[in-house]
Structure 1
Amino acid sequence: MGIYEELLDHKTKLSLVGLGYVGMPIAVEFAKHIDVIGFDINEKKIAQYSSGIDPTGEVGDAAISESSVDFTSDPARLREARFHIVAVPTPVNQDKTPELAPIVGASRTLGKQLQPGSIVVYESTVYPGVTEDICVPILEEESGLTCGVDFKVGYSPERINPGDKVHTLRTIKKIVSGMDADSLAEIGKVYDIVVEAGTYPVSTIKTAEAIKVVENSQRDI
């Protein structure tokens, strides 16, 4: 039985690491179908979510109150999940270089709790190579596990535009990538649970990372 089937049968959980404008809508949508742990290091934010308050304004207080997302700031709870989505911010420094501290920190936190047989999918905006060249070594170092043997990784760029209530996670085709054919298939099936528009697989993780950078450039220029 793969992770997809285990999620549907409630035999494992999905974790969402980073509950901001991007992560929160993903967590709420998945929680309509499977068990979700919503993790963030910001304890104030977790307290607001747990009280039914949406500080992001992306999904609204009612949706938060009705959601079954299990909100926590306790990293140990990540051990309960085998499918992890990392959606932390990646701002730009004053010198126009990407600030990778949030994604590095998230990888260290997750790596310490990572269990064998897990899949980690990054959604944060990064330049090509970050997932495999920066994040994977951190996950391996912190977990003591070997990528490709004990766990798999993928990249699926977030494509929602904060504040846009028309083009949402459900209605925008989701680009997915994995480190190999098996992880790509599993990642695609999991996202198909919530993305009505379907998924679009690409050949490599670096390709998916590049697509995200180009799309952001087209949107912002």
Structure 2
Amino acid sequence: MDIKGIKRDTITYSAVISACGKGVKWQYALDLFDEMEIKGITRNTITYNAAITACGRGNQCKKALEIFMEMSEKNIPKAHGSYIAIIQALGSDCTNNDVIDALYEDMLTSLPDFGQRWLRLNRHGMLDLHDHSQYMAQAATRRLLRILQKQEGYDSPEKSSELKCIIVGQGNDSADGLQLLKAVQAQLESLSPPIASYTQSENSGQLALNKRDLGDWLKHKA
């Protein structure tokens, strides 16, 4: 591009940073990201998302979080994709669950439209995880359990019946269509005691929790 006199701009830099991330060339992606600031080229939300994703694919969790936090410092708007990128970057390390949960709460506050799906839980007893990535879905599952812990009497079968299902659908970027289902079930099975779950016969995209297991878990946590 330089040889042909084509000027590099935000779009071209962002595209190359994204390509580097897909090729797991995170260091080169960060070099380009830093070069933009040195040259005074605007770095927008898409640029930051691409850099965070590149760090995540290179297992550079700490750097990914630094870049995400820099968005607030530089008044770069955070989008749904920003939260997906950082939560995915941190998700491979289960020791980051507290940070991920805090980021998920921040997302619900920062993106009110996204947070509206939790109203459906209150109105219809269903938690809709469409537009969630796998680690975001696990954060939502942990949030759901925290909510249930705070609801008095929820460890009784009668009360727990108010939670009808978790809508997992097919899941974002899922090759086999089961990404969210597997992620939520893995989270539930990792608990002590574990909570069994099963898909609804009338809709395989809806996951129901075993009421007895849920009650036992809540009693154990009380």
Q: Which interval holds the TM-score relative to the shorter structure?
A: under 0.3
Give the TM-score taking structure 1 as reference length.
Answer: 0.28
Higher strand share: 1
| Larger RCO of the pair (alpha carbons < 8 Å, separation 6+) | 1
